[in-house]
Every structure is written in structure tokens, then in C-alpha cells.
A and B are shown apart, each in its own frame.
Chain A
Amino acid sequence: EAGVVQSPRYKIIEKKQPVAFWCNPISGHNTLYWYLQNLGQGPELLIRYENEEAVDDSQLPKDRFSAERLKGVDSTLKIQPAELGDSAVYLCASSLNLGAYEQYFGPGTRLTVT
């Protein structure tokens, strides 16, 4: 069974440029999560979806970040414009549903903003 797929794995952009990350969750998983992981820190939730509905986006900086999960499967996280402080690893995870305790993580996208 394929795991959570993320692309790109690495991205280097200049500040003020836009960037987008893509995530394909495990087949059959209704819940999808986007996390931010800074160096030496644990992941922090940005947004979580139940099917196509965002059920918790309180940690998403909405002035520059946006996310969508069309058709309740793939998801895209966008930053526009990027700032130097956005350099981090962006992790996508999925679970069977909101109540499932196990989340399966993708390998992440390492973003460097110069």
C-alpha cells in the first residue's frame, strides 16, 4: 500500500515569491493534516480536513497561507508571498477519520526561502 505522497521534496525560492505543496493521502483516509516543522521542533498543526471540509484552520496564517482539498482526496497548501521565516519542513499526514489515533505522515517538503 502506498503511503502519503508529497511533492516537491525540496523547494528553494526567493522571498515574496509564491510556492505550492501537494499531498496525496493514503487511499480511503478521510482526514488530512498539514503540519509545519521548524528545525529542532515538533510538528505544529496548520490545518486539518475531514473529506473536503476544513475542520480546524485556526493555526493557519490566513494572510499568506491558503489550502484546499478538492474532492476530498488530494490537497494543496500555498504560501503567497513567502517570507524568510517560512523556511521549514511542511508535512502532510492522513488518518482514517478524525477520531483515529494514528496519523500517517509523508516525507515532507523542505522549503528554503532566500
Chain B
Amino acid sequence: QKEVEQDPGPLSVPEGAIVSLNCTYSNSAFQYFMWYRQYSRKGPELLMYTYSSGNKEDGRFTAQVDKSSKYISLFIRDSQPSDSATYLCAMRSSGNQGGKLIFGQGTELSVKP
């Protein structure tokens, strides 16, 4: 079993839809939770970052972490065609030297005009 499991794609939605992307994990030591966005032929770029449990909002994006369920989510409101990309969840443990960043497999999202 992988440490991080991500809902498989591809996911296709109409413009303006609310998108929900999810990951589950097994390692209770994970403290830092991130969402990266990766456009085709590009490297991943950090979209959202959350430490421990709770919600974080940034514009149309909301990240949620439920450590009791080992479940994280990314919500995209009013989705736009420019949101079409692969979304990767990633997480790591804490510590002065930091833990290794573990990625999910990614969910490919397509937002249709």
C-alpha cells in the first residue's frame, strides 16, 4: 500500500463547476500538506500549503486537512479552463531537517469552456 493515495482521474468538468480533489494517507507523522499544480510539460508548482489540521483559503482555492481521518482535500470554486492541469497532493513529516516529500499519483483535471 502506498503512503499517499490520490483519487484517479481524469476528471472533466464544465467551466464554473466546483471541483473536489482528494487524497488519503497512512503515515500519522505527516504534518505538512501541500497541493501542487502541474501543467503539461512543466514542473510542479506549489498551489496551497497547510500545516497540521484545518482549512486554508486562497481566492478560489480551499485546502482542507482532516488528520483524524488521514484525508486531505482541495476545492476549486468557479473553475476556469486555465485550471486544467494535473493536481498533486504531497505531504511530509516535521523536524528540523524535514521529512521526505511524498506525492500522490496526481489527478488530471480538464475544465471545458
Contact = CB atoms under 8 A, between A and B. Distances in A.
Interface of A: 4, 40-45, 48, 50, 55-56, 91, 93, 98-108, 110
Interface in B18-64: 32, 34, 41-46, 49, 51
B97 A99 contact: yes
A103 B101 contact: yes
Interface residues of B, number: 25
Interface string B95-113: 1111011011110000000
Given A42-B104, A42-B106, A99 B43 contact: no
A97 to B, nearest CB: 8
Nearest to A4: B43
Given A102-B46, A105-B43, A42 B98 contact: no
A102 B42 CA distance: 17
Given A42-B103, A45-B101, A104-B46, 6 more contacts: A42-B4, A42-B88, A99-B97, A102-B49, A107-B41, A110-B41
B97 A106 contact: no
B44 A98 contact: no
Contacts of A56: 100
